[in-house]
Structures are given as C-alpha cells and as structure tokens.
Structure 1
Amino acid sequence: MTLAGAVTCGVGGFHDLGRLGYAYLTAYLCWLSLPVGGLFLVMVEHLVEARWSVPLRRLAEHLAGLSMGLAVLWLPLAALAPRVYGWMQSPALSPELSVQAKAGLLNRPVWYGLSLGILGLWSLLGWRLRAVSVQQDRCGSAAYTRQLRVLSVVGLIGLAVTVPLGAVLWAMSLQPGWCSAVYGVYYFVGSVWVTVATVYGLATVLKRAGPLAQALGPRQFHDLGTLWFGFTMLYAYVHFVQYFVIWNGNIPEHTWWYVQRQQGTWAWVGLALVGGHFLVPFLVLIRRDTKLNWAVTLPLVGWCGLMHYLDVAFNVLPAQPSGPRSSFQVVDLGCVAFMAGVLGLAWLKAFSACAPMPLRDRRLNMALELSPPEALDRLSSAASPKP
C-alpha cells in the first residue's frame, strides 16, 4: 500500500505539482486528526480519572504517538506549500482589508515556524504520555499516575491553543479572504469524532483477535459508542452554527466560501456530508443494541473514515485555482494510501512493543470490577508487557 501510494503520488507530482500539493494536504489533515483526537482522549481520561476507558487507553496512546510520524510526513507538505497557498506565491498580500489584517500570520517564516512548533508540541506530548504509561506497567507506582495528570493539565491547555491555530494555518489560510470564528473547533470536533470511531474499530478487532478479549466488555463498547454518538451531534451542531451564522448574515465577504462549495461536484459532496456524516451515524448509534452489534459498528467505522476524508476535502480541494470545477483524482487516493501504509506500520510497531493495556494502572481493576490481584492475574497471561 505504501509503495503503491508513493508511486501514484510521484506520477501525480510529475504531471502537476500543485495538484499533488492539494491532494497531499487533504490526506495529511485527514490523518492528522487521529493524533489530535488521541491526545484529547488520553489527557481527558487522566484529568477526570475515568475508569471505564482504562482498558482502551493504550490504543489511544498509540494514535497520539502518530504525531511524530506526521511531523516527518509534514516535510513534503512544507516543500509543496508555495504551490498550494496562493499568498506564498506573490511578494505582496492581496490589498483586501480582511487579508491585510492577517499579514502577521500570512508570511513564510511565521507559517513554517508555527507549523514546526505545533507538530513538535504534539509529538512531545504523544511520546511522553505513552512513555510514562509504559513505565508504570513495570512498577505500578502511583507517582506515574500523578505525573500523567499534571502533564494532561498542561497538555490540554496547549492542545486548546494549537489545534485551532493549526486549522487556521493549514486549511483556512488556503483562502485568506474568508474567516470563521469556529473553524478550529470544527476541525477539532471532527478529529475527535473520527478518532473515537477508530478506537472502537481497533478495540473490536483486538477483542475478537484475543489481545483484549479479557479486558473489554459491553460497558466499554457501550460507553465508547455513546461518546461516538455525542461527538456526532456536536459535529453537526458546530457545522450548522457556522453555516447558519454566515448565511443568515448574508455578507458577501463571508458567504462566497459556501457559494463556491454549492457548485459542481462540491454541491453533492455537501449533501453527502449532511446524510453520511450526521444522519447515518446518528440513526445507527442512537440505539443501545446497535452500539454493541459488531456487524453494524465495524462497517460504520469505515464509513466514518470516508466521511471524514470527504469533510476535509470539502474544505481543501475547492480552494484550488479551478475552484468549483475541481474534482477528485487518482492522486488523492494515492496520498491517502501512502500515509495509511506509513502510519499503519508505525502504529503496529508501537502496539507490539508493549502491553495492549495499562496493566498496573490502579483504575484498571475498577474498570473490570475485580480486585487488584484478580485483575493482574487475569490479564497478565494474555497481555504481559514485552521487555
């Protein structure tokens, strides 16, 4: 998959580097959602001392750790950026007041510097959260739990600042004449939504395959499905609020962004997002029995991944010079496949390097409703930490 994706990207870049840049950015923002959501899930669990999610936490920790791989995958995007961001191609910004007001942000040194800083922070958080958790597997000291809680407090503050900033830098600045006050929240909610779906899918596969068979029960899948359902509604609310406020305000400087996306291919993509990103998961997850039905939820995980990609593409691809006439091409699939192969291998390597769950977290036995010795005896045989 990685090789096929790389070849497709190379062929696409040979024909049109600019089109490759847009395809790469779309795939990059789509996959970047997983470490963003993983960081949020891990740090919130530590902050509120959640119990039910402890058997699932290691899966989210590995997703958060993908931020290091994505920091490396950012380098091709950095090279392609001048062909993607129009404001990088001219020595002076547009004379529009809405663009001039962002002059402090729309320049190359700031864009590259902030991008490196954001990805560096996420990589550090992802590495440290996982490293401390794995260290706790060896000795079980409660000091590690306190350390993770303090790190999560600081990390959540950093995440709250850097996720909206990253969304503005990498996506909204494609069309700097347009702005939205909730754009960063919109990207964040979509990221957590697809991450929860991914954790659900991974947990289902690993329970059936064996590594988490003794650790996960109906409670974990029900609560995770409820969280998935909640972020489905939150995403729809944020997206609708952004659309309603801009459209109802009827200010041409703002409405043109949506007008552009109601033409050509993108009108159908917008309708697909209404039905596929909200209605389908809403109707499936609203029922308790379907939350626990793997035959229903596993296909839904794949469906949500597709909808998240369409959502990112809806934001990025119409910003091309061809505007509403732009459409999907093979190079888009190639970029997705290339990153999927690289990040999939990174996740599998991290997963195989340690226990599949935090074995010595004091809340694990509470999640399993067992005494500490029973919990450790029950799980150690199936999931002992590797040296």
Structure 2
Amino acid sequence: MTATRWMTWIGGATMLGALVLAVCVFLMGGQPVLRAWFVAVLTLGAVPVGCLALLITNHLLRRDVFLARVLEAGCYGLWPLAVAFLPIALFPGAIYPWTAPEFRPTGALQEVWLDSTWFGLRAVLYFAVWLGCAMLLIREDRVVAPGDRRTGTAVAAAMLYAATISFAGLDWCMTLNPEFASSGYGWMMAAHQVAAALGFAVFADDLLTDDPEPPAVVRGLMIGGVLIWAFFAYMEWMVIWSGNVPAMASWYLDRDGGVWPSLRWVVALLMAAGVAGALLVPLWPRTRLVRLAALCILVGQLLEGVWNLLPAFGPATLAQVALFLLSMLTVGGALAVVFLKALATRPPEADQEDAVGAAVGPA
C-alpha cells in the first residue's frame, strides 16, 4: 500500500474518531472526554517532543549520527500536538484539582503558579519554543552539510528545551496531585519522552530501510535511553521512600491498587526485553531483532505514560478506557498522517548530500 493510500485511510479513521468523540461530549459531558483526551495527548506527545531532543543531539554532534530523516519527520508531529493541546489549555478545570474553588494553595508560589490563565499562556510558550527550535534545525539540515554545521543553534535549542521540558512536566503532569512536589519530575518526563522517541525512530527506520543490522551507536542509544529512564524513575521513588513524606507518597499510593501495579511490571518487562534485544542483535544480524526490541521500548513507554496519568482520575472504568482508546486513535492518526507526509518530502540520507549541494550551490 502506498504512503498516499495509508494517509487516506488513517486520515479517515482520525476524522471518524473525532466525530465519535464529539458525540460522546454531547452524550456524556465534556469532563470524561477531555480527561481521556488529555491522557492520550500527553501519552502520544512523548514521541514528537522526544524526537526534538534527539534531533538537537544530532546537531550538537555536527553530523547525522542516526535516524535523521525519521527524527525530522517526527518533529513535525509537534504541529498537530499543539492543536490537540488547545482544549486542555482552554478548559483545565475539567482535569486539574487546583482549579476547584475549594482548593487552597499551600504557599505563595502555588498561589501564583496554579492559575488557569497562566497555565494556558505557558503552554503556548512551550509549544512556540519547541516548534521554533525544530523548524530552525530542520531548515539547517536542508541547506548545510552535516560537517559544516555551527553548533550555536543547537546549543540554544538544547538550553531552551531543557528549561521548557522541566516546567512542562511540572505544569501538565505533576500538578495532577497538587500535594506532590518533586524538582526532578520534569527530567523523569524528559527521559520518558526520549526513550519513547528512540523506540519509535528505530522501529520506523527499520521499516523504511533494507539494512537488517543498525549501527552500533543506535543500539547503544536504545540501551542508554532505557537506562536513563530507569534511573530517574527509580530515584524518584527512592528519594520519596527514604524521606518518608506522606504527602509525596500519595503519588505512588494512587497507583498502588487495581491494574496499576501489574501494568508497572509489564512496563519493566518490556524495557528489559528492549535492552536484551538491542544487546543480542549482533548474534542474529539477519533476524530484524532490533525492530522487535524498538517496539518493546515504544510500547513500554506508552504504557508508562498511561500509568503516570490515568490513575489521577480515580479507578479506571470501562467507559473511561473506551474513551481513552478512542482518543488514542484520533490523536495517533493525526500524528501518523503528519509523519508520513513529512517523511515523503524529506529525501533519504543517501540523497541528502545532493539536496544540500543543490541548495548551497557550487563551491
């Protein structure tokens, strides 16, 4: 099936999903639909934001180290992600407990920070920074050979990304429980996004290329991405447990019942399978083992996003799960269409040097 036909089918499924969600808003009210939409947007949004972090890394190293074509196409997903976030920015009262009239801030900072208007304006700032950085780096790819790049743009992008992703993690996820406070939560979210983007990029690249064995640097990045995520996830729990702070422990207590402990074990097993697969690729170089390893990492990190977000809204009901899956279909379809379209307009790495040469002109 051609890319155009794929986009047509996926686009049709996306529009159908959006229509069904609109009907659900009419029948069930806005709050349950918006909560499911919120979880889907932040779960799938880990991929394009993580692609931006990896693209910045490529440019800091001043050469196309890995997966440049896929990462650039993945960054274009920031556009539909920004549009999908609009309902969340406009109606935070359906999601966050700090918007309730009975909420009482515990300090002056909370009183200023936890404000619906400022919440929306900060979201606009985050997406403006991410989109601006992504488009500047992609434009540089089109006109500058990898070895001739200056690192100034990438350094500025890295600094802006580091600041905004930390605050976005606090804004969007940590304030689901206003009693919970952690200075490292934003970095844990960033590690989660990078691991998800690595799984996605390696899986997509393996589907697009004929080389069954990726470069060693790609397998090393897969393993490193999982280990960094595991470090932040474990240390977050360890610091709270060793500090014995009941208010901070409430974040984990909300995820201690129902299906959530089992889901956490599934995530851990998938991450372990991804690392094992990446390590074993040289032993079975013709088996496409890397594709399975990348898929394990991607699925594991998507489930990690669900584990982080969905328990904040109480025990999972059948209706809530159905709305979430429908939202995942709609948001994921929009991201997939943009990704395929961007991929079709970006020449493969083998043709990229000719494209850059044509843009720059004769030496």
Sort the TM-score into its range (normalised by shorter chain). Answer: 0.7 to 0.9
The alignment status of 1:41 with 2:48, answered yes or no, reads no
Distance 1:197 1:293 in 2: 19
Distance 1:259 1:152 in 2: 40
Distance 2:288 2:109 in 1: 51
Partner of 1:183: 185
Change (3 A) 1:294 1:100: farther
Distance 2:188 2:283 in 1: 27
Q: Which runs of 4+ in 1 moved over 6 A?
A: none
Tell me the matched-pair count: 344
User: How far does residue 163 in structure 1 lie from its aligned partner after superposition?
Assistant: 0.4
Distance 1:16 1:242 in 2: 36
Q: How does 1:53-92 map to 2 (within 5 A)?
A: 53=66, 56-90=67-101
Distance 1:294 1:141 in 2: 31
User: How far does residue 197 in structure 1 lie from its aligned partner after superposition?
Assistant: 1.2
Structure 1 contact 17–80 (Cα < 8 Å) conserved: no
Partner of 1:266: 260
Partner of 2:3: none
Change (3 A) 1:43 1:310: same
Partner of 1:130: 138
2:231 partner SS: helix
Q: How does 1:128-277 map to 2 (within 5 A)?
A: 128-136=136-144, 145-146=149-150, 149-208=151-210, 218=213, 220-276=214-270
Structure 2 contact 92–116 (Cα < 8 Å) conserved: no
Q: How does 1:96-107 map to 2 (within 5 A)?
A: 97=106, 101-107=109-115
Cα distance per residue 1:66-102 (max 9 Å; x no partner): 2122111211222342211121232x6325x2x6542
Is there any run of 5+ residues in structure 2 with no aligned partner, and where? 1-12
Distance 1:317 1:262 in 2: 13
Change (3 A) 1:235 1:294: farther
**Counterpart amino acid of residue 124 in structure 2:** L
CA-based RMSD of the aligned residues comes to 2.6
Partner of 1:4: 16
Structure-2-length-normalised TM-score: 0.86
**Counterpart amino acid of residue 319 in structure 1:** A
Distance 1:251 1:292 in 2: 49
Change (3 A) 1:332 1:292: farther
User: How far does residue 38 in structure 1 lie from its aligned partner after superposition?
Assistant: 1.4
Change (3 A) 1:195 1:294: farther
Distance 1:358 1:80 in 2: 46
Structure 1 contact 27–309 (Cα < 8 Å) conserved: no
2:111 partner SS: coil
Structure 1 contact 260–324 (Cα < 8 Å) conserved: no
Change (3 A) 1:231 1:291: farther
Determine which of 310, 322, 335 is the counterpart of 2:327.
335
Distance 1:74 1:120 in 2: 13
Structure 2 contact 165–190 (Cα < 8 Å) conserved: yes
Structure-1-length-normalised TM-score: 0.81
Structure 1 contact 221–291 (Cα < 8 Å) conserved: no
Cα distance per residue 1:213-264 (max 9 Å; x no partner): xxx684x443212101111111111111111111122111111211121112
